[in-house]
Amino acid sequence: MDYTFFQHYWWFVISLLGGILVFLLFVQGGQTLIHQVGKTALEQTVLINALGRKWEFTFTTLVTFGGALFAAFPLYYAVSFGGAYWLWMLILFCFIIQAVSYEFRSQKGNLYGKRTYELFLIINGIGGIILLGVAVGLFFSGGEFVVSRGNLTNPGNPVITTWGNAWRGLEAITQPLNLLLGLSLFFLARTQAALYFINSIDNEAIRIRSRHQVLVNAVPFLILFLGFLFFLLRSSGYTYDPIDKIQLSLNTFHYAFSFLDMPVVLLMLIIGTGLLLGGIFLTCFNPAFKKGIWFSGCGTVLAVTAILLVAGWNHSAFFPSRIDPSSSLTIANASSSLFTLKVMSIVSLLIPFVMLYIFKVWNVINKTPLTEAEIQGNDHSY
Amino acid sequence: MDEIPFSLVDLSRAQFALTAMYHWLFVPLTLGLGLIIAIMETLYYKTGNPEWKRTTQFWMKLFGVNFAIGIATGLILEFEFGTNWSNYSWFVGDIFGAPLAIEGIFAFFMESTFITIMFFGWNKVGKGFHLASTWLTVAGATLSALWILVANAWMQFPDGMVFNPDTMRNEMADFWAVLLSPVAINKFMHTVFSCWIVGGAFCLGVSAWFLLKGKEKELSLKSIRIAAIVGFMGAALTALTGDGSAQQVALRQPMKLAAMEGLYEGKSNAGLVAFGVLNPAKKTYNDSIDPFLAKIEIPGMLSLLSFRDVTAFVPGISDIMKGGFEQRAFDGTSHTALSAENRMIKGKEAIAALSAYRKAKSEHNDSLAALHKEALEINYPHFGYGFLPSKDAIIPPVPLVFYAFHLMVILGLFFLGIFLLTGYLSWKKSLHTYRWLLWLSVLGIPLVWLCSECGWVVAEVGRQPWVIQDIMPTYAAVSNLDTKSVIITFCLFALLFTGLLAAEVSILVKQIRKGPQEIH
């Protein structure tokens, strides 16, 4: 197992974490459905409590996704976060306000009223997802940055990365591929949230309205996702020379060919999308079917992992520079040292154990669907 | 290319300090109160006494209000390494990133998974499973502190790495040297024990308020007994590890120690300032103005605590600037310290050698590259000095570090005494008759946070200008941003954090006034 193996392995771990994160964004999606699915104050409280028992998983996955990127690909961390400053800052603001909203919403003395915290949840649900999607879209569309490691020898300005415009990442919102990804993630999260409500809340009115929301949100998701795939598959992309790992060349239809070069990844995308659509289809057309979230969840993880794999594998530049192609980041030039990747890989062998106890606890909490009576009888409810 | 303005560095520092200080308002309560809750629930598990369950659930409710906001501010801290300190992220990301990732994978998931059972599992799982979940939540929070403190300790005492001139960054060479460095172990213990003081003081203060109001006597006395034990243990162990910490600072960061003690001229048999008022007229280290208006010193104590030798020479700020004294090292050896000016020369030589190495490499002149690499390696311990604008930049703000250190020590001793006294009187069942002590305990709530924040001021302001000791100053670590952007985000963070803190305090006050509920 050489350096290349570990670089690929860590891109896989990042992609998998990204896939799990997108699945868990159903929490954010659900936050935007509270007033559409819940018509009474109690119903809304039930919905918030159903989501509130999961929000920390999403948050933790986001933090781990960031931490793993920092550890495995520190140059990306430096270039993207230090460059697309405003894009990331807006994402962070969307997430800070979420963290407190569940706990503070129904507490007496929360100063700003229940509605304010619900508004925070909606801002997080819309802004957080769309902007995160835009930021991930940069893996394909690229950013306006230059990397000059030699700057470190210039005591007057030792900063090795510069961003090419004053918009600091906000310009990424105007790029169709990024926006399509952000919007499709938004509708996907809403669809999955509705599936989650059906599975985890024992309330017929909520189930009926959720079932309606599955269909209402799945249609725009599908249109936007196909639009994203269309842009992606016809996009050009940079690849690095597998021998010297430095020379970059531009290839037309790069991502389409990459899927064809990696049939297993293509299969993951197809199976993932199939499972996702299957979960939606079964839920919409079989009123007794409540397990749609598990199908769509597994499908989302598979499909998103496949899309992220194609960004970094097959010698692709996973963060192309739009103003200086030679500065583009690849898993070969942006990764940590072999030693660090090896240490982290040993540590990562324990991840299945972590997933096992998460699964166990998830099952314990969701063993019986949430009811209004449980919320009213629980001292710690949101 | 334009030079990086110093205002950008200061603003980025201010933003990070703001986030870190707000984060540290919430984290110590999570760690300290978490332990107290786990002990209370263990007592419920062992005795079956429902009053212990009620007590546990009351404190757990306050714990929950505090927990979420700690997570939010923690998220910002992690990402600010990239947004505001991008050069740092590349320069040491190979070493610094690993603890952060491990923290996420193990500690955060453990914490966030089992806290769900802790809050919502009372009627869903057995007593044993619930108790285990509570302990695992506390363990997860403590583990998370371990990894971030390992990372912080490494910044103060960089070890287990080599600089790679081809990639232009430091790379990890020895994971165990990073994880098990004496500074990391000591810092972890010192910090976690200090959180026990915060948890103990909070629990004690709230319980004392109940007693003053004549409410919840049984719950309050039960809580005070545990708070006093946890708090006393925390205070004693913090003092013990604080001693170890001061010793490490003396060996590795003598300038920080000099600032902590306001020591401008070094001496043998140096005294420890027990109480002192700095002279605001003293502007530079080499003027002839007395640094103190008044002070009470314990003779020889600083030498003894720093080097375990009452006659040892402790260098002052002037000595560190001039060099020429014997600087001891961790391994027991010593060397003659270089002057700040000499270190700046060597730092510039290191940077020049790095530049020449890259040029030789690009010209495929391997023999010349090897020569420059050798020069770089010889001078690398002084690398960061090459970025300094003047030698005076290595002196941290002395008054801030001095007063923060002394306030921390005085308050630490105050809490040691108060835990001892309240613990003894509650055991004697006569605490409620000492109303002055109960009021003092209530006053302890804001004081304990002041004490805790002072600790971080000493640790972080005291090491300025270094983000990595001697290797990288803050100036070389910053992102190339426009200052207006950082001003805006600083103001937004300040408003948001302050608003959320006000809401948290208000909720906590309401909850405390309402008191415990019936058992569910």
In-domain check, residue A357: yes
- For the record, the structure tokens of A379 come out as 């001292």
- At residue B360, the pLDDT reads 96
In-domain check, residue A110: yes
Q: How far apart are CA B153 and CA B253, in angstroms?
A: 12
Q: Give the confidence band of B332 by pLDDT, cuts at 50, 70, 90.
A: confident
**Using the 8-state DSSP alphabet, how is residue A192 labeled?**
H
Phi, psi (deg, nearest 5) at residue A262: -125, 80
Q: Give the confidence band of A369 by pLDDT, cuts at 50, 70, 90.
A: confident
* pLDDT tens column, A189-225: 999 999 999 999 999 999 999 999 999 999 999 999 9
B166 touches chain A (CB under 8 A): no
CB contact under 8 A, B168 and A104: no
Q: How far apart are CA A312 and CA A17, in angstroms?
A: 14
CB contact under 8 A, B86 and A81: yes
3-state SS, one letter per residue, for B117-151: HHHHCCCCCCHHHHHHHHHHHHHHHHHHHHHHHHH
Sorted by sequence, the CB contacts under 8 Å of residue A94 that are 6+ apart come out as: A123, A124, A127, A128, A131
Q: Which of A70, A96, A378 sits opposite B76 (nearest CB)?
A: A96
Give the H/E segment covering residue B416: helix B398-427
Phi, psi (deg, nearest 5) at residue A152: -60, -20
Fill in the amino acid letter for B285.
Y
- At residue B142, the pLDDT reads 95
B498 touches chain A (CB under 8 A): no
A226 touches chain B (CB under 8 A): no
- At residue A292, the pLDDT reads 94
Q: How far apart are CA A17 and CA A275, in angstroms?
A: 19
* pLDDT tens column, A211-269: 999 999 999 999 999 999 999 999 999 999 888 877 889 999 999 999 999 999 999 99
- At residue A247, the pLDDT reads 83
- At residue B105, the pLDDT reads 86
> How far lies A286's CA from each of A191, A199, A278, in Å?
16, 13, 12
Q: Which of A66, A102, A350 sits opposite B68 (nearest CB)?
A: A102
CB contact under 8 A, B100 and A71: yes
Phi, psi (deg, nearest 5) at residue A237: -150, 160
CA distance A45 to chain B (A): 15
- Please give the mean pLDDT across all residues of chain B: 94
Contacts of A67 in chain B (CB under 8 A): 78, 97, 100-101, 103-105
Mean pLDDT across A259-284: 96
- A2-41 residues touching B, CB cutoff 8 A: none
Q: Where are the domains of chain B?
A: 6-204+219-253+398-461+463-514, 257-336, 340-387
Closest residue, chain A, to B355 (C-alpha):
A153
Q: Give the confidence band of B4 by pLDDT, cuts at 50, 70, 90.
A: confident
Give the H/E segment covering residue B428: none
B170 touches chain A (CB under 8 A): no
CA distance B506 to chain A (A): 5
Q: Which domain holds residue A330?
A: 3-377
Give me the total of CB pairs closer than 8 Å, taking one residue from chain A and one from chain B: 295
Q: Which of A68, A92, A93 sits opposite B101 (nearest CB)?
A: A68
Closest by CA position to B37, among listed B230, B212, B193: B230
A114 touches chain B (CB under 8 A): no
Contacts of A72 in chain B (CB under 8 A): 97, 101
Which residues make beta-bridge pairs with B335? B327
Is the separation of the CB atoms in A203 and A49 below 8 Å? no
Q: Which of A96, A109, A340 sits opposite B506 (nearest CB)?
A: A109
- At residue B520, the pLDDT reads 52
Burial of B371 from C-beta contacts in 10 A (0-12 / 13-18 / 19+): middle
- At residue B15, the pLDDT reads 96
* pLDDT tens column, B388-444: 999 999 999 999 999 999 999 999 999 999 999 999 999 888 998 999 999 999 999
Q: How far apart are CA A322 and CA A142, in angstroms?
A: 6
Mean pLDDT across A91-102: 93
Which residues make beta-bridge pairs with B336? B326
CB contact under 8 A, A78 and B172: no
In-domain check, residue A382: no
Contacts of B78 in chain A (CB under 8 A): 63, 66-67, 70
Q: Which of B101, B169, B479 sits opposite A70 (nearest CB)?
A: B101
Whether A53 has a pLDDT exceeding 90, the answer reads no
- For the record, the structure tokens of B502 come out as 């006000």
In-domain check, residue A138: yes
3-state SS, one letter per residue, for B438-491: HHHHHHHHHHHHHHHHHHHHHHHHCCCCEEECCCEEHHHHCCCCCHHHHHHHHH
Instruction: Using the structure block, give the residue that is written with the tokens 């209000």.
Output: B65
Q: Which of B72, B105, B476 sits opposite A351 (nearest CB)?
A: B105
Q: Give the confidence band of B515 by pLDDT, cuts at 50, 70, 90.
A: confident
Q: Report how far apart the first and last C-alpha atoms of chain A are (Å, whole number).
A: 49
- At residue B518, the pLDDT reads 60
- A359-378 residues touching B, CB cutoff 8 A: 361, 364-365, 367, 377-378
B65 touches chain A (CB under 8 A): yes
- For the record, the structure tokens of B457 come out as 């001021």
Whether B519 has a pLDDT exceeding 70, the answer reads no
Is the separation of the CB atoms in B156 and B185 below 8 Å? no
Q: Give the confidence band of B322 by pLDDT, cuts at 50, 70, 90.
A: very high
A interface test, pick of B12, B109, B111 with most A CB neighbours within 10 Å:
B109
Is the separation of the CB atoms in B299 and B311 below 8 Å? no
Q: How far apart are CA B47 and CA B26, in angstroms?
A: 31
* pLDDT tens column, B452-469: 999 999 999 999 999 999
Query: How many degrees, rounded to 5, is the angle at CA B369 between CA B363 and CA B374?
Result: 165
b/e string for A152-177 if b means 16 or more Cβ within 10 A?
bbbbebbbbbbbeeebbbbbbbebeb
Q: How far apart are CA B14 and CA B423, in angstroms?
A: 40
Query: How many degrees, rounded to 5, is the angle at CA B101 between CA B97 and CA B105?
Result: 175
Split into its structural domains, chain A has a count of 1
Whether A378 has a pLDDT exceeding 80, the answer reads no
Instruction: Using the structure block, give the residue that is written with the tokens 């006000």.
Output: B502
Mean pLDDT across A259-287: 95
- At residue A351, the pLDDT reads 87
Which parts of B77-222 are beta strand (E)?
Answer: 161-164, 169-172
Contacts of B3 in chain A (CB under 8 A): 156-157
Q: Give the confidence band of B1 by pLDDT, cuts at 50, 70, 90.
A: low
Q: Which of A78, A151, A358 sits opposite B113 (nearest CB)?
A: A358
- At residue B429, the pLDDT reads 86
Query: How many degrees, rounded to 5, is the angle at CA B397 between CA B395 and CA B403?
Result: 130
Phi, psi (deg, nearest 5) at residue B276: -160, 150
Q: Which of B60, B124, B489 sits opposite A365 (nearest CB)?
A: B124
Sign of CA dihedral B497, B501, B507, B510: negative
Q: In percent, how much of chain A has pLDDT > 70?
A: 99
Is the separation of the CB atoms in A277 and A214 below 8 Å? no
Contacts of B509 in chain A (CB under 8 A): 109
In-domain check, residue A324: yes
Instruction: Using the structure block, give the residue that is written with the tokens 């190495």.
Output: B357
Which residues make beta-bridge pairs with B278? B292
B87 touches chain A (CB under 8 A): yes
